[in-house]
Structure 1
Amino acid sequence: MAEPDLADLDAFAAVARQRSFRGAAARRGVSPSSLSQAVRRLEDRLGVRLLNRTTRSVTPTEAGERLLARLTPTLEELGRALDEVNSFRDSPTGTLRLNMPTVAAKLVLPGLVGPFLRAHPGVTLEVVAEDSFVDVLAAGFDAGVRYEERLEQDMIAVPMGPDQRYVLAASPDYLARHGAPTHPRQVLDHACIRHRFLSGVSLPWEFEKDGEIIRVSPSGPLVGNVPELGIAAAVEGLGLLMTFDGFVAPCLADGRLVEVMAEWSTPFTGPRLYYPSRRQMPAPLRAFVDFLREQAKAW
């Protein structure tokens, strides 16, 4: 029997963990067919089926489960060994895989990508932006990005950007027709443009002033999960919009939108890069952490 190829073993482990060829391919930036061919080669060489495949699911066989259990620590140790060699380079090489909320990918990451990749040309940055809270390590990511209230306590967290703020805004036309609320509870009397996550959750609007926190759940003519759509609706005068200040900064600057009740808008800590303290850091991740800590001096 020919010795299995290490790349095929790694491909099998990725598919077995994700329970999906498409999911594993998306995480790795390759085609599902390439992973399917790798697993098929491995099964042919071992002479045993490792994955049960149907049109709806992929599950490891008993042999596949046993191989995955023995293979996982071996692949992790191999990764650590290669990374130790990588640490002797002037600039690390390799792939840094990050999972983060859409807002961080749109507002925070763009200002970091250029300087970081220019400083580390050997690093490839792979980013998946999603608003569901996945186990980033089990999904094959090196680190995740979350806001403070969503962080696990056994994680190391590094600031990824300055403080942010939610802004309540409306168009001058809307305010001329309906007036501006002066207290959070008055927001309930207005048409409001709301955000709803793909999970179906629509968070209440939270206001804070002098230590008092008030949450309201408004209603209105538009609910969606695309920030640009809500901003366009607010500019059209369809209602009040509450969103991250970075999303509406251009509209506030040119007067298409006007901030309302600014005194009830309290800054909160920006996103945090997080990773487990018990795990040796891959060289690309270590370089990114060092980069963020240097950037934080200017925030």
Structure 2
Amino acid sequence: MSKNAVAVLEPGYANYKTEEAVLEHHGTAVVAVKEQDDAVSSLKDINPVAVMVRERTVSAAEMETCPNLKVIVRYGVGVDNIDLDYARGRGIYVANVPNYGAEIEVSEHAVALYLAVQRRIVQRDRDVRNGQWGIGEAEPIPGRFNAVLGLIGCGRIGLEAAHKFKALGFKYILAFDPFLDSATAEEEGIELVDIDTLCAKADVITLHAPLNDHTRHILNRDRIDLLKPSSIVVNVSRGGLVDEQALADALNDGRIFGAGIDVFEQEPIASDNPLLQCSNTVISDHTAWYSERSVGVLQHNAAMEINRVLQGGVPQNWVNKW
């Protein structure tokens, strides 16, 4: 194996020619570890200087087996699947890739999920194919005139979502985000509110926050109970932001109108996940970020972080600083 081997955990891309092109001057071999293969034993055999990962866990056990490991790069933004403290203690850089332009794709997906739920598109498609017609009044659809959008998290993706929902006619945009400054909020026509106020007032809630100890189950049972009967929840961020059982209970009891969910606490989604049995719920497979364009940029930018470290520098998006 190359002395500068790079291991890719949980491969999911068509190929790794982009990474190889960026790193070829280091004599690097990019080695994909199959999803069904044990990560610890595979990494021991590869002995990589760098690990690239999507959703798979990189704990102390995985890092302990890699004595030459210098850097871990997360394909994407969230790094809750990586043991940052252990990496810091070993002097292993951890970087993410927040700037691959997926705010366009993710915000589009949020709108697509909203519209599919709002207009009952999936149900209508199924019913018409099964010979039913003219059933609209049997399944009422609330109007959204002068509607209120609630953003939980309002960074690049949240702001892009706000623009798109405004174009759909949403008149009021509320946001809960401790890191959004008031000047930007005012410029964007966004009202900063506390989380409970947002839940009580919003017609549609979209989640765009990172997952950490402060945000896990930020949409919990108590806050779901604050939602309007006509409200829709859209999650295109991280599954752990939502108490899935509480959301499923509200959907099944008819206490909220619907939900569009792209991310889950356990992925791939478990067959007994309660959201799979909910009515007026549209589900996708953590694909909001994806387009051919975004994948190419993501792979290139991830490889550039490794390139910086192998050249003796530090990652541009270094998340576990010491």
Q: TM-score, normalised by structure 2?
A: 0.28
What TM-score does the superposition give when structure 1 sets the normalisation length? 0.30
Answer 1 or 2: which has greater helix percent: 1
More strand by share: 1
